Amino acid sequence: MILTAKAENCFSSTFVLKVNDKAIGKFEGRFFSEGMDVYLTGQRRFKFEKTGWMGSHFQLKDAETEAVLVETDRAGFFTSSWKLQLSKTRAELRKAGFFSTAYEVCGRDEVLGRVDRNGVCERGWHVENYGDLEAVDMILIGLIYQIVLNRQAQQHGAAGGHIAGT
């Protein structure tokens, strides 16, 4: 199974979610927050929220009951890895390689899945399920990757936002 997110258009913060090229819903980013709202067909809604003002602990919750379905936090201060509490197991989201943009979901000495950008000129990502990942797990993995991409874009924008020598 492959979960894909593609930007609705060039300037939108709304992404269409597809499983094996069949639309299943969308998610929208929130202004002034790293949170996101996920709307699936069939009226199911999730909230992806940062638990505190500081830090990087995120939870994917059922929007109606506020029940925490899955959650994640940074693995450490000087690492790009994330600790994942998935629906059935614990895992880690690790960079696939030094020059790679992909991350791998690793649990119990095996790769359970992989997330990467859709392409060079296309906004979005895709999650490939290699193991026993549930749909909610794949959504969490994709949304964390979206956070990683957003933070990288902010860092690159801040680094290039000045003129050298002034």
Q: What is the pTM of this model?
A: 0.87
pLDDT digits (tens, 9 = 90+) for 43-97: 899 999 999 877 789 999 999 999 999 999 988 888 889 999 999 999 999 999 8
CATH number of the domain encompassing residue 153: 2.40.160.200
Judge whether 15 and 124 are in contact, CB under 8 Å. Answer: yes
Which structural domain range is residue 58 located in?
A: 2-159
* Secondary-structure breakdown of the chain: helix, strand, coil percentages, each rounded to the nearest 5: 15, 45, 40
What gap in Å lies between CA 31 and CA 49, rounded to an integer? 13
Residue given tokens 């956070």 in the structure block: 147
Angle at 23 between CA 130 and CA 93, to 5 degrees: 35
Q: How sure is the predictor about 104, in pLDDT bands with cuts at 50, 70 and 90?
A: very high
CA 69 from centre of chain: 15
What's the structural domain count of the chain?
1
Question: Does residue 164 fall inside a structural domain?
Answer: no
Sequence-distant (≥ 6) Cβ neighbours of residue 102 within 8 angstroms: 95, 96, 114, 115, 116, 117
Question: Does residue 116 fall inside a structural domain?
Answer: yes
Question: Does residue 146 fall inside a structural domain?
Answer: yes
